[in-house]
Amino acid sequence: MRREVRKYLKTAVLLASAVSLIEITLGLIMGVPVLTADGLHTMLDVLVLTSLYIGLGPVLKPPDLDHPYGHYKYRYLSMYTVAIVIIGASLWLVAETAINVARGIMERAPLSSIFVIAVVVGLVFSRMLLLRAGYGKTHDLILNLEFKHALADLMDSLLIAATIVASEFIPIIQPIAVFAIAAYLMYLGYRYFRESVSVLLDQVNPDIAGEVYNIAREHNIVVSSVRVKNIGNGYAVDIIARVPGWLSVEEAHELIDRFEDEVARRVPSVISVNTHIEPQ
């Protein structure tokens, strides 16, 4: 089933990539900034779909000596890069549009851009139908959510088409639309940037260590050290602990196993628990 879901996501990535490339390239060539802005928006959709595609399959390399917790941070490096590109491009688009407005340059979008939007609408509609068909076949929640996302993108493309037509009569509409889209993109880019940086710099939730200490006390285990590491898809916890001296080796390991199981149960974001037992 996972293979079927990934097949639909892969095709959706290709369709969204085509939309982004068409809008950004032709938007720049034809001088239609609202097209370029929407292409940048679609680039974020490509990132989301690609992350889902990678996360559902064995594409990520298995852990190795250099990466004992796996390679999950690669997706956050990609997210960081895209966020920087989106924020930079949005700022450039705002500056370019603001300069043109200040100079009184508000060119009407060429009517040929409507044909570009027609192609874009066709591609987005195809993506929507693909994801709906995939959900009907697999009943996978991710495909259903992305179907609704594609439906929202279809409405967005139709709104862009309406903006281009309206700009033929009211030229100021296009710069206003560009400012609105760019502001939204910078907001999303900032969120992606903040989320990716927190993972790449190993930022952790301080409450996790406190919960580990609480669970240890409940199991009559003395913890001398808790180290929490952000590994991209969750947290890895390394613990140094002491158990009651009257326990046999077998009983001590059974106690530690129960303790680790309880940590994993009560703190779902913890993916790996490794406990080192100190001698009494």
- Find out whether 246 and 267 touch, Cβ atoms under 8 Å: no
Distances in Å between the Cα of 153 and the Cα atoms of 43, 77, 121, 123, 206 are 12, 25, 9, 11, 38
At 29, is the pLDDT very low, low, confident or very high (cuts 50, 70, 90)? Answer: very high
Helix H or strand E segment including 253: helix 249-266
If one compares 272 and 141, the residue with the highest pLDDT of the two is 272
Percent residues over pLDDT 90 in the chain: 20
Same domain flag for 145 and 102: yes
Average pLDDT over residues 190-196: 87
How far, in Å, CA of 149 to CA of 189, rounded?
18
At 136, is the pLDDT very low, low, confident or very high (cuts 50, 70, 90)? Answer: very high
From 175, 200, 225, give the residue that closes a domain: 200
How far, in Å, CA of 218 to CA of 210, rounded?
13
- What was the pLDDT predicted at 48? 79
From 148, 183, 200, give the residue that closes a domain: 200
- What was the pLDDT predicted at 18? 96
Same domain flag for 49 and 156: yes
| DSSP 3-state of 69 | coil
From 149, 169, 200, give the residue that closes a domain: 200
Distances in Å between the Cα of 88 and the Cα atoms of 111, 152, 174, 175 are 29, 25, 20, 18
Does the pLDDT of residue 243 top 90, yes or no?
no
Token pair for 269: 């974001």
Average pLDDT over residues 164-193: 88
CATH number at residue 262: 3.30.70.1350
Same domain flag for 109 and 23: yes
Does the pLDDT of residue 67 top 70, yes or no?
no
Domain membership of residue 268 as a residue range: 207-277
